[in-house]
Amino acid sequence: MTVGELTLSSTKLTPLIGARIDADKDSLLSGRYAAEIRELLEDRGVLLFPEVHMSDEEQQAFTATLGTPAFENNGTLGPDGKPQAIYKVDAAQDDEQAIRRLRNNHLWHLDGSMHETPILASILSAKRIAPVGGGTEWANSCAAFAALPPEEQAELEKLRAVHANWSLAARQNPEPSLAQFLQWRRGPSKSQPLVWKHASGRKSLVVGSTAAYVEGMDPADSQELLVRLRDWATQPQFVYSHTWKVGDMVMWDNTATLHRALPYEINCGRLMHRTMLMGEEPIA
């Protein structure tokens, strides 16, 4: 890829999703490739920076070259009581709520599906890897939509789905007490188009583990459609599966991909550090 006089060395990871970027750390931190990286991110969905070994400070600086950094929106505050620029996805947990959040990550999803404007991108660095499992997969939801028959695309563009905290929570605990369900129901819930029509002209499926039901459909038909579309979007040809090495950094377009962590043992030592870019357009 060439923009102006700069050339960014990249290699496709699969035909439909993912690119490996080979650039030294100083060049990445300088911002000289920021425009190319943004362009490549939109084109390929997932960018791998193999064994780049960025510190937290360097990862934050790199994130800031690409857009407006976003603080973590999961409600967790740092030791100083302030929002965190770095979120530690830590497999060492001993409370039920934290473990449930980790297990939710094993389900296909996009971050911020219950928000007006989801984050643009996430950047994840591997600090410690799981002895067994713990890889990450991404699915290109734009390529998946584009591969559907035109008549089905047109029908899907008319539909909306409700994404809800209670639906996600129920996937880990299908028989809650009434008190638990009422607590879940106080969490966020939002109706979203089933197809995101991006300002760039791209269109992507908005499906995954937070999707509770399609508005106006019979419950069973609604669930069948959501499951079918998730299965369609996560077929092997649309997916990049990454086996982590310590020091790897991966960036993905949260607006045009689904992602999930592959299972691993809680308290196995796996540790990932995440930064994010603030969203730039609502789901519409």
> What value, to the nearest 5°, has the Cα angle with vertex 108 and ends 46 and 103?
115
**Whether 161 contacts 215, CB under 8 Å:** yes
Superfamily of domain 2-277: Clavaminate synthase-like (3.60.130.10)
Name 109's bridge partners: 259
Q: How far is CA 132 from CA 54, 171, 241, 266, 269, in A?
A: 24, 24, 15, 11, 11
Instruction: Count CB neighbours of 30 within 10 A.
Output: 14
What is the mean predicted confidence (pLDDT) over 152-166?
98
Going by pLDDT thresholds of 50, 70 and 90, the confidence category of residue 71 is confident
Length of the chain: 284
> What confidence tens digit (pLDDT) does each residue in 192-249 have?
999 999 999 999 999 999 999 999 999 999 999 999 999 999 999 999 999 999 999 9
pTM for this prediction: 0.93
What is the mean predicted confidence (pLDDT) over 105-120?
96
Q: Is the pLDDT of residue 2 over 50?
A: no
What is the mean predicted confidence (pLDDT) over 94-120?
90
Instruction: Count CB neighbours of 24 within 10 A.
Output: 9
What is the mean predicted confidence (pLDDT) over 181-197?
96
Q: What are phi and psi of 182, to 5 degrees?
A: -65, -35
- Identify the CA nearest to 25 among candidates 59, 64, 70: 59
What is the mean predicted confidence (pLDDT) over 111-118?
95
Q: Where are the alpha helices (DSSP H) in 12-55?
A: 25-30, 34-44
